[in-house]
Amino acid sequence: MNLIFLGAPGAGKGTQAEVVSDTLSIPQISTGNILREAAKNGTEYGVKAKAAMDAGELVSDEIVIGILKERIAEDDCKKGFILDGFPRTVAQAEALDAMNVQIDKVIEISVADEKIKQRLGGRRVCQGCGASYHVEYKPSKVEGICDKCGDKTIIRKDDQPEVVLDRLKTYHEKTAPLKDYYAAQGKLVTVEGQEEVADTTKLTLAAVGVQ
């Protein structure tokens, strides 16, 4: 099964994508994580990407499409994959269609902007492996330490309030039109984000058809 997870920054699409990835045993491909890793390693495209990410803007379609193409060609994607944070523009969605990648469903995790502003302040990310936590909704077992690799969890630079507003604006302008794009293909399923993560997860698994 090939799935796309769509949603505003902080709507919880990554958290939901992770559960579905574990349930179906297919990889979760987060372009945000790949870009942050590249930025950390100081690769050529990583340096370019970092500037855009820190400003709450999108990284260029050219860079992101290139990354994705390489990633989905890897062996572990043969039995399916979950795209978390790609596509984010209509041009990226068209590129995916042009690669003849069959997408089964597009799951939109829908959360109101007000709620998002509140949530992003509590988000923490592991500086080692990129795992994502939330001080209130999804705390790590030991505060400040990643459950998965033991490295430190930190606040992302782009989770600062001013940048969050820019990211939301970018989402509404560039990414939200993908809802119509995939609705027209009959693939869009909207999941309303709930107060409790576990409740959203139930709805997500039902939307994917695994429960």
Q: What residues line the site for ligand ADP (CB under 6 A)?
A: 9-10, 30-32, 35, 52-53, 57-59, 64, 85-88, 92, 158, 167
**Piece in contact with Zn ion (CB under 5 A), picked from 58-66, 147-155, 166-174, 190-198:** 147-155
- Indicate if 179 belongs to the active site: no
**Both tokens assigned to 106:** 């597009």
Q: What is the nearest approach in angstroms of Zn ion to the Cβ of residue 153? A: 7
Q: Is 149 in the site for Zn ion (CB under 5 A)?
A: yes
DSSP characters for 126-189? ETTT--EEETTTB--SBTTB-TTT--BEE--GGGSHHHHHHHHHHIIIIITHHHHHHHHTT-EE
Q: Select from Zn ion, ligand ADP, none the partner in contact with residue 52, using the beta carbon and a kind-dependent cut-off of 5 to 8 Å.
A: ligand ADP
135 by Cβ neighbours in 10 Å (0-12 / 13-18 / 19+) ranks as middle
Which of the residues 36, 50, 119, 123 is marked catalytic?
123
Q: What is the nearest approach in angstroms of Zn ion to the Cβ of residue 159? A: 17
- Indicate if 156 belongs to the active site: yes
Residue with smaller CB distance to Zn ion, 46 or 130: 130
Q: Count CA atoms within 13 Å of residue 91 on its CB side.
A: 10
Q: Select from Zn ion, ligand ADP, none the partner in contact with residue 32, using the beta carbon and a kind-dependent cut-off of 5 to 8 Å.
A: ligand ADP
Say how far apart CA 150 and CA 172 lie, in whole Å: 36
Indicate left, alpha or beta for 100 from its phi (over 0: left) and psi (-120 to 50: alpha). left
Which of the residues 88, 119, 124, 174 is marked catalytic?
88
**Both tokens assigned to 168:** 């939301």
Q: Select from Zn ion, ligand ADP, none the partner in contact with residue 111, using the beta carbon and a kind-dependent cut-off of 5 to 8 Å.
A: none
Residue with smaller CB distance to Zn ion, 71 or 124: 124
Among 131, 113, 58, 47, CA closest to 89: 58
The binding site for Zn ion (CB under 5 A) comprises 126, 128-129, 131, 146, 148-149, 151
